């Protein structure tokens, strides 16, 4: 797919690091599957991946921690 940001690159399957911040809690997700632009690096997440990240972020909020790193390659 053509990148909608730079209009010059093509997106390819890859992995990114993604950070979510909510209510003063930071969740850093590593190895998130995404379509990544080979030119500008912008990336696109599927609906399923987005739901997974939001679900895991909500669970982190429930724990009462301020910061958590979640490596999706290690999560079954």
pTM of the model: 0.86
Predicted pLDDT of residue 75: 62
Residue 76 above 70 pLDDT?
Answer: no
In this structure, which topology does domain 11-74 adopt according to CATH? Ubiquitin-like (UB roll) (3.10.20)
Instruction: Please check whether residue 32 is in contact with residue 51, taking contact to mean a CB–CB distance below 8 angstroms.
Output: no
Biggest CA-to-CA distance, the chain? 43
pLDDT tens track for 5-45: 999 999 999 999 999 998 889 999 999 999 999 999 999 99
Predicted pLDDT of residue 44: 95
CA distances from 34 to 27, 48, 67, 75 (A): 17, 11, 23, 16
Instruction: Please check whether residue 11 is in contact with residue 33, taking contact to mean a CB–CB distance below 8 angstroms.
Output: no
Cα pseudo-dihedral 47, 48, 52, 57, rounded to 10: 0
Predicted pLDDT of residue 74: 72
């Amino acid at each position: 797919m053509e990148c909608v940001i730079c209009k010059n690159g093509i997106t390819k399957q890859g992995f990114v690091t993604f950070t979510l911040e909510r209510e003063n809690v930071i969740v850093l997700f590593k190895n998130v599957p995404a379509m990544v632009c080979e030119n500008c690096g912008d990336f696109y997440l599927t609906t399923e991946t987005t739901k997974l990240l939001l679900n895991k972020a909500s669970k982190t909020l429930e724990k009462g921690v301020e910061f958590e790193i979640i490596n999706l390659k290690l999560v079954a």
